[in-house]
Copies of this chain bind each other. A is one copy, B any other.
Amino acid sequence: MKNFDYHNPTRLVFGKDTIKDIGKFVSEYGDKKVLLLYGKGSIFKNGVYDEVVQSLDKYGIDYVEMSGVQPNPVLSKVRETVDFMKKENVDAIVAVGGGSVLDTSKIAAASFYYDGDPWDFYEKKVFPEKALPIYGVLTISATGSEMNSGGVITNEEEKKKWGWGSKYTYPRLSIVDPSIQKTLPVNQTVNGAVDTLTHVFEEYFDGTKDTLMADEFAEGIIRTTMETVKVLIKDPNDYEARANLAWAATLALNGLNGLGRRGDWASHGIEHSISAYYDIAHAEGLAMVMPAWMKFVYKEDVDKFARFGEKIFGITGEDKEEVALKAIEAYKSFLKEIGAPVALSERNIGEDKIDVMAKNALLRGPLGGLKKLEEEDVYKILMLAR
């Protein structure tokens, strides 16, 4: 177990009928005028937009709107948002949406106090000293962005899909009302679950030893996610499954799961280079990459993959390597069962750009914690994922 330094200042308001209080919270913290940031309009269909603006109105919060944040959010939208925020001189951001809106809000909140280009933060040319407060209203549980400081943005021109965060970009407060997620299309619920599972795996399979408490924590999230997503595929209206999945998704990436570990995160790095070139959902890319990554690296820590097999799938046996391999297959079968794609070909991605994607994935240096991956390793993993 490694040393750690943990500080997560986000206040999390969780449960049914909690969105109606957003105006009250903003008012309590003293903000008068906010940017209402959202995506492509699903919040008009599920009633969340109305609930938010009614609450802002009720508590006398002035707001201006910026819509159109897309999945795999892009830098051009960040720039547009920042310019608008500066012009309107808002006090805070109310980010209503999923990971893409939350992620956009973070770089925008920091860029509000910076005269240069937002991408400079991603390139580590500058470091923030403050950021506008962010209030999150989550509409899909997946990324954990509602309770962490990070955000992934795609620089479309340069084909760079990168992550960034700072201690100033934790949301001040986030509201998670699982009940509003009942109207999500099934594939989006599935994507959220796959994203959650992959976040846990990225820490769990990192090679750090003697992490019993962290392993137990991770395995609890994994089992909860796998069980609840299957319930929700059959019955999207099951509130208790929604609530447990939502809580699992937040716990998977609010920082706790990684404490005492180094982390791996190679699969995310590889996926980001896929969705920099192809218009697929982030979680679809993760579903394709993760089992291939597992096959490529499991020999680095056979004991851990065997433990995974036993604790998650109940696979036991004398031969740990056999258990490990069965576990990887069991995970792939689970992904198929819930309808996630497990091969690039399922989204019509051929071999032609695999070399380019492998090169792109290495732009910020080698990937991985369990096994350090160079360009040729990423190439092999992508070939395994065909």
Interface residues, chain A, with chain B CB atoms under 8 Å away: 1-16, 18, 209-214, 216-217, 219-221, 223-224, 227-228, 240, 243-244, 247-248, 251, 256, 259-260
Contacts and interface: CB of A to CB of B under 8 A. Distances in A.
Contact of A212 (B211, B213, B224, B256): B224
A303 to B, nearest CB: 15
Contacts of A217: 217, 220, 251
A317 to B, nearest CB: 18
A213 B13 contact: no
B1 A247 contact: yes
Contacts of A260: 14, 243, 247
Given A16-B3, A219-B220, A243-B1, A213 B11 contact: no
Contacts of A219: 216, 220
A256 B247 CA distance: 11
Contacts of A248: 213
Nearest to A3: B15
B7 A14 contact: no
Contacts of A220: 213, 216-217, 219-220
18 contacts: A1-B15, A3-B14, A3-B15, A3-B18, A4-B14, A4-B15, A5-B12, A7-B9, A7-B10, A7-B11, A9-B9, A14-B260, A212-B244, A213-B221, A214-B247, A216-B224, A219-B220, A247-B260
A328 B18 CA distance: 38
Closest 7 CB pairs of A and B: A3-B15, A216-B220, A210-B240, A7-B11, A1-B243, A213-B224, A213-B244
A5 B28 CA distance: 15
B1 A6 contact: no
Contacts of A251: 213, 217
Nearest to A172: B7
A6 B254 CA distance: 13
A1 B212 contact: no
**Most B CB within 10 A of own CB, among A2, A213, A240, A256:** A213
Contacts of A3: 14-16, 18
Nearest to A243: B1
B212 A227 contact: yes
A247 B221 contact: no
